Structure 1
Amino acid sequence: MEFVELGLGIALVPKSMQSLKKDHVQFVEIENNDILSETHCIWNKRSSSILLDHFLQLLPFGTV
């Protein structure tokens, strides 16, 4: 959303993002919205972060 606020693009975002209230950002709801999207998670395999380990444990079973 920062790029949008700076005039550097557009974004498709969940409706919940409206609560962030950016001064120069216009939210427009897409009517007849049957859009589904996939979400992917990427990380550096060489990372040895305890936070990463905990985060990966939160992902649905069988996704890692």
Structure 2
Amino acid sequence: MYVSSKQAALGNVNITRSGSPEFNGMAKWDAWKRLEDASDENARQDYVDTILGILIKDA
């Protein structure tokens, strides 16, 4: 969800990858980079589909 929302809101990754040993930050950056060039519309739809899947599963 994080990556889809970043891609939808900001587009392609626009910051350099952290060289620090902070695993979460590097993993988030790597995931965002994998969505590079995905359209805003596709990223938004992926986000909505993920949320709906969670809501339906928990219903």
Tell me if TM exceeds 0.5: no
Task: Report the TM-score range of the alignment, normalised by the length of the smaller protein.
Answer: under 0.3
Higher relative contact order (CA 8 A, sep 6+): 2
Larger Rg: 1
TM-score w.r.t. structure 1 length? Answer: 0.23
Q: Which has the higher helix share?
A: 2
